[in-house]
Amino acid sequence: MSGIRFAFVAVALLATAALVIAAGAAASAGGPSYHPKIDPSQFTNRITNRYLPLVPGTAHRYRGVRDGAPTSHLVTVTRQTRTVMGVRCVVVKDVVMQNQSLVEKTTDWYAQDRGRSVWYFGEDTAEYQNGVVTSTAGTWEAGVDRALPGTVMPAKPKVGRTYQQEWRPGVALDKATVLALGATVKVPAGTFRPVIVTLDKNPLDPSKIERKWYAPGVGFVRAVLKGGGHSETTELVR
């Protein structure tokens, strides 16, 4: 894989494992003690995690309902890369339409560590109304303004494990907890199993909770968000 050296001696392998374990423990703990150690040599922009593969050129279409209005998402894994904290990340674009009008555009940056956990290094996001940008709140980049990357899909998820997905104080502090590993889910694109189910929470807005479903070989296939007077369902179409 690009960006990773395979000629490691046993000592280096043990050191890498210790680094990932330490980062994972910090991610699970969250809070002020969250300080993952990022060694760019241990990351690649080629993401092969079984439950969140991000293959350049891949596009997924989703549809759903947000507060009673129909939505559609187009998520594209581009062939572009961006270097964040010295780590080469793959660029993923997400365009959200509601009632056939553009409401959100987001560019995300992901990388995979040597153990095949997928990390989130930030996003450039904008909300739109009548074709005009109304907010860029939620934009963050690891290494800028105390922001740090987080784990979005562990290499070996375990039921009950909680991990920090993103970290920028006052802006992005989402965490996820694994609820199930062997679930089945049916969406317009088909029936998938065994599926990982997570519960995502945002400490900056604790009234909202979101459940997500991830299918092997596909990635994200379904989400249900509730709370704060809002509701949203998103499902993979193709």
Question: Residue 11 in 3-state DSSP?
Answer: helix
Q: What is the pLDDT of residue 29?
A: 41
Domains and CATH numbers, the chain: 10-236 (2.40.360)
Give tens-digit pLDDT for 38-85: 999 999 999 999 999 999 999 999 999 999 999 999 999 999 999 999
CB 214 within 8 A of CB 196: yes
Residues of the chain with pLDDT under 70: 1-32
DSSP state of 1: -
**Which pLDDT value is given to residue 32?**
58
Q: Which candidate, 171, 114, 221, 203, places its Cα nearest to that of 211?
A: 221
Per-residue pLDDT at 21: 34
Phi, psi at 235, each rounded to 5°: -135, 145
pLDDT reported for residue 26: 39
**Angle 73-77-81 from CA coordinates, rounded to 5°:** 135
Answer whether 0.95 is exceeded by the pTM.
no
Q: Is the dihedral of CA 64, 46, 157, 186 positive or negative?
A: positive
Give the whole-angstrom CA distance, residue 110 versus residue 102: 24
Residue 104: per-residue pLDDT: 97
Provide the pLDDT for residue 172: 87
